[in-house]
Amino acid sequence: MAARVVLGLGGCVDYELKLTGPALQQLAADYAVGAADLASPGAVTSERDLVVSILGYVARGGGGEHFVASAPALETFARRFPHRTTLGGTSVRAAIVLDRLGVPSTLHLVSVNDTVRRLLPATCDYVSSGDTDTYYPHLIVQYDRGLRVRTGDLDITAPLPNRLIYVNDPANSSMALADDLGARLRDADVFLISGFNAMRDERLLDERLAALRAHMRHLPPGAVTYYEDAAFHEPALSQRVRDALLDVIDVYGLNEDEMQTYLGHPVDLLSVDEVRRALTAVHALIPVPTLVLHTRFWSAAVGERAGDLAAALDLGTLMAATRYSHGDDVTDRDIDLMRRRPRRPEARAFAAALEERMGGTVRCVPGFALNVDNPTTVGLGDTFVGGFLAAVARSTSPAAPHRPVPGQVTRRPPVVSPGVAGLASQREHP
């Protein structure tokens, strides 16, 4: 029997566009954006603010996600560039990857419309907390390495390709949970939690977290719960989510931008010493059984069960690299050809050195050597999650260790067991 995968908690419609230098330069000139504006970006309340925010990220090759107070600003900006409509949200993009890999799933959504119904894969069942159809598109901005904007005293060139997400979405900001989520979890082998980063109301967030824990009491013994971090629209709420859920999370995933935000400083991703210190510090901040970090150079698992996750890390890395190279139009042949490509030499050396330095508490998989003229930078982390969870789902077995009902619990030291099925934590009531 195939593993049962439930993916939550929100999804959306995306407007995906690729920035071009001349168009962005014209906007910077029209709005008289100077170098000083990029030094102190504020809230995004207008199209000018949006342009300033984008230019700041382009200058450092960064990626991020932001709430935008003005929904019309998103629509206005999107109309200036050719764009296409896709489905987004970590859970939805992960579901698309699972479908490509032959693993069916059930989605928990907060917003449904004709676009969602048309684009969801046929293997994806869903439940929605929304009473009526709603449509709140997210603006997804991609840019390539070398994108240059020069006007007035402003002269910037993107050192890396990346993506930015701008959102005004009341449904995801509310993140209402469907009444029958718990019923869907009764048969789940894998449960993905994502999307709380879009919430901005502290009281409402606390209500949703309490409700989620109640639903999670229906999870069967041995189910693996994966939490994927993201850029919080209200950064202070990130800690609130961790405080509420850490004792019921088996695997906690994040990317390099989120890691560096927590640390408060940049990290050289090919320096073994810097990464070892960074992983140790982040794992101390987020004391889950297994921490997973996915970056543009490599992906790694940290924890006593890290050694069980080589296949999951590898499949996540493979699927993200294939999406980077081919976008949404990925074929089985593309995946197979990517699997045969060489890994980045510097990443191979780094991964071997990191594992040697940190021993059995870390497993690191190097990324692929890629030279793509027109890469896709949106959805790479979501795609990694989909590949990772596909491997977990394939390896889940009824022999997984018993996991008591989540509630007010304390965590025992992790118990090492072979295979991905051993990821589910041993928990007990106090």
pLDDT in tens, 420-430: 556 765 443 22
Contact 10, 111 (CB under 8 A): yes
Side chain identity at 261, as an amino acid letter?
T
Asked if the model's pLDDT at residue 380 lies above 70, the reply is: yes
Model pLDDT, residue 407: 32
Q: Are 429 and 412 in contact (CB under 8 A)?
A: no
Q: What is the topology classification, in CATH, of domain 14-86+136-169? A: Adenosine kinase, small domain (3.30.1110)
pLDDT tens digits, 248-296: 999 999 999 999 999 999 999 999 999 999 999 999 999 999 999 999 9
DSSP secondary structure of 1-46: -PPPEEE-S--EEEEEEE--HHHHHHHHHHTT--HHHHHS---B-S
Other residues' Cβ atoms within 10 Å of the Cβ of residue 52: 20
Model pLDDT, residue 303: 95
Q: Would you say the C-alpha torsion 80, 85, 91, 96 has a positive or negative sign?
A: negative
Question: What pLDDT, on the 0 to 100 scale, is given for residue 429?
Answer: 27
Q: Are 173 and 209 in contact (CB under 8 A)?
A: no
Residue pair 287/398 in contact by the 8 Å Cβ criterion: no
What is the model's pLDDT at position 43? 83
Neighbours of 275 (CB within 10 A): 27
pLDDT of residue 41: 67
Say how many Å lie between the first and final Cα of the chain, rounded: 35
Distance from C-alpha of 58 to C-alpha of 228, rounded to nearest angstrom: 25
Q: Is the dihedral of CA 137, 138, 139, 143 positive or negative?
A: negative
Strand ranges of the sheet holding 64-67, from the earlier edge strand across to the other edge:
64-67, 162-167, 138-143, 12-18, 83-88
The pLDDT value recorded for residue 167 is 95
Q: What percent of the chain has pLDDT over 90?
A: 85
Confidence grade of residue 39 (pLDDT, cut at 50, 70, 90): confident
Average pLDDT over residues 64-83: 92
Q: What is the pLDDT of residue 414?
A: 31
pLDDT at 349 over 50: yes
Is it the case that residue 362 has pLDDT exceeding 50? yes
Question: Strand, helix or coil at 95?
Answer: helix
Q: Among candidates 171, 247, 262, which has minimal Cα distance to 209?
A: 247
Each residue's pLDDT tens digit, 122-179: 889 999 999 899 999 999 999 999 999 999 999 999 999 999 999 999 999 999 999 9
Q: What is the mean pLDDT of the chain?
A: 90
Is residue 1 predicted with pLDDT exceeding 80?
A: no
Torsion of CA 233, 239, 240, 244, to 10 degrees: 130
Please give the pLDDT value at position 413: 32
- Rounded to whole angstroms, how far apart are CA atoms 198 and 172? 6
pLDDT digits (tens, 9 = 90+) for 389-419: 999 999 874 433 333 333 333 332 332 233 5
Percent of the chain exceeding pLDDT 70 equals 91
pLDDT bracket for residue 37 (50, 70, 90):
very high
* CA distance linking residue 100 with residue 83, whole number of Å: 24
pLDDT score of 88 more than 60: yes
Count CB-CB contacts under 10 A for residue 157.
Answer: 14
* pLDDT for the residue numbered 232: 93
Is the pLDDT score of 305 beyond 90? no
Task: Say how far apart CA 87 and CA 101 lie, in whole Å.
Answer: 18
Q: Which CATH number fits domain 5-13+88-133+171-423: 3.40.50.10330, 1.10.3860.10, 3.40.1190.20, 1.20.1530.20?
A: 3.40.1190.20
Q: What is the CA radius of gyration of the chain?
A: 21
Helix axes of 237-245 and 202-216: crossing angle, nearest 10 degrees: 20
Q: Which of 306, 311, 304, 319 is nearest to 393 (CA)?
A: 311
* pLDDT score of 197 more than 50: yes
The answer, as to whether pTM is greater than 0.85, is yes
**What's the CA gap between 233 and 262, in Å, rounded?**
15
Q: How crowded is residue 347: how many other Cβ atoms within 10 Å of its Cβ? A: 23
One-letter amino acid for residue 344 of the chain: R
Over 90: is that where the pLDDT of 3 sits? no
3-class DSSP state of 108: strand
116-153 residues labelled b (16+ CB within 10 A) or e (exposed): beeebbeebebbbbeeeebebbbbbbbbbeebebebee
pLDDT on residue 59: 95
Which of 174, 140, 145 has its CA nearest to residue 159? 145
Tokens read off for 303? 């924890």
Among 108-117, 361-370, 407-416, whose mean pLDDT is lowest? 407-416
Q: What is the pLDDT of residue 406?
A: 32
Report d(CA 194, CA 60) in Å as an integer: 27
For 175-203, what is the mean pLDDT? 96
Q: What pLDDT is recorded for position 102?
A: 94
Tell me whether strands 64-67 and 154-157 are parallel, antiparallel or unpaired.
Answer: unpaired
For the chain, domain boundaries:
5-13+88-133+171-423, 14-86+136-169
Cis before 27? omega within 30? no
**Cα–Cα distance between 230 and 239 in angstroms, integer?**
12
